Amino acid sequence: MENIKSRLKNSDKNSMMLLLIAVLIFGVMAVLAPSSFLGIKNIQGMCTQFPEFGLISFGMMLAMISGGIDLSLVGIANFSGITAAYIMVKMGGGPVSILLGCIAAVIVGALCGCFNGFMIGYLQIPAMLVTLCGLQLYTGCGLMITKGPAITGLPEGYSILGNGTLARVPIAFILFILGALLVSFLLRSTVYGQHVRYMGTNSMASRYSGINNLAVTIKTYAVSGVLGSLAGLIMVSRYNSAKTDYGSSYTLLSLLIVVLGGTNPDGGKGSAVGVLLSVIVLQLVSSAFNIMRVDSSLKTFVWGGILIVVIVIGQIGGRKRGRE
């Protein structure tokens, strides 16, 4: 019981730290570039950009809480998006084709996730190897459909998903919030949420306690795959085309977001709130870099540096708590 209370306390501290950082960045940029940073177009732009890697980050978080990792999410996102785009174009681009394309994309994401989960849970292959191979497999599946070039000529109405607004709020942002609420509900209010944390903390103990680790693993990666497919649908809508190399930087970015959000890379700990705040912080930093005209290659360097620093700090903190 004390261990659980300690984890909750540390999780709250992490969320408070992220909230303070977000407020600090917002305040600094409001002073340095108020007209650019606080403009409605910039705020809408930020809310349109981060749902893609935000949804992928939630999928990565679930995999990490279970004690694994999902490096195939970008491949799943692109494969799902390509499947949807192919169906829309082949069926003439009407409302029915959009609906069927979206349904097919979600099914593809779930099936890819189930395959990952089966390989990890039943065959006991390390998650990193399975999902890294999965990234290449799903990218290859996408290439078999596109034959190389991007799929274009998507229905005009489909662009609303990635570029449209509802009461001036980007629709992609609304979808992201719904995804965050779903993940939070699964982790906090379901038996599955308890089981995935137990399994991530100690898979052997969870098995002996009667938890079906295989079922939990397959469910985890299936949900992760669905979240990846939703990200793929948004990307296809935003770019108005489908290709296998979209979101190439999102794997590193999602890892950074999840670890910065307080998820334990060793499993058992993580929260949707932490990831949500982490997404907001990194989007604020990215927007600040763009306004200050920072080179894009430097941003990737900064993301990698921050990830290493956060992991090192987490390891040092864990060792100190272990001695205490």
Do 263 and 278 touch, CB atoms closer than 8 A?
A: no
Q: What percent of the chain has pLDDT over 70?
A: 92
Q: How many domains does the chain fold into? A: 1
* Residue pLDDT, tens place only, 32-74: 887 778 778 888 888 888 899 999 999 999 999 999 999 999 9
Q: Please, which pLDDT band fits residue 1 given cuts at 50, 70 and 90?
A: very low
- The reply to whether 223 falls in a domain is yes
Residue type, 74: V
The rounded distance, in Å, linking the Cα atoms of 301 and 257 is: 15
The rounded distance, in Å, linking the Cα atoms of 97 and 102 is: 8
Q: What percent of the chain has pLDDT over 90?
A: 56
| Residue 170: strand pairing partners | 165
Do 31 and 273 touch, CB atoms closer than 8 A?
A: no
| Residue 165: strand pairing partners | 170
- Domain that includes residue 302, residue range: 42-315
User: Is it the case that residue 148 has pLDDT exceeding 90?
Assistant: no
* Residue pLDDT, tens place only, 81-129: 999 999 999 998 889 999 999 999 999 999 999 999 999 999 999 999 9
Closest CA to 311 of 255, 228, 236, 253: 255
Contact residues for 139 (Cβ-Cβ < 8 A; gap 6+) = 75, 78, 79, 244
pLDDT of residue 175: 93
- The reply to whether 12 falls in a domain is no
Closest CA to 226 of 182, 177, 272: 182
Question: Radius of gyration of the chain from Cα atoms?
Answer: 20
Q: Please, which pLDDT band fits residue 8 given cuts at 50, 70 and 90?
A: very low
If phi > 0 it is left, if psi is from -120 to 50 it is alpha, else beta; for residue 92 that is: left
DSSP 305: H
- The reply to whether 2 falls in a domain is no
- The reply to whether 114 falls in a domain is yes
pLDDT of residue 212: 94
Q: What average pLDDT does this structure show over 143-151?
A: 92
- The reply to whether 3 falls in a domain is no
Q: Please, which pLDDT band fits residue 324 given cuts at 50, 70 and 90?
A: low
- The reply to whether 22 falls in a domain is no
- The reply to whether 140 falls in a domain is yes
- The reply to whether 301 falls in a domain is yes
pLDDT of residue 32: 82
CATH of the domain at 200: 1.10.3470.10
* Residue pLDDT, tens place only, 207-264: 899 999 999 999 999 999 999 999 999 999 999 999 999 998 899 889 989 988 889 8
- Sign for the CA dihedral angle at 141, 143, 146, 152 comes to positive
User: Is it the case that residue 301 has pLDDT exceeding 90?
Assistant: no
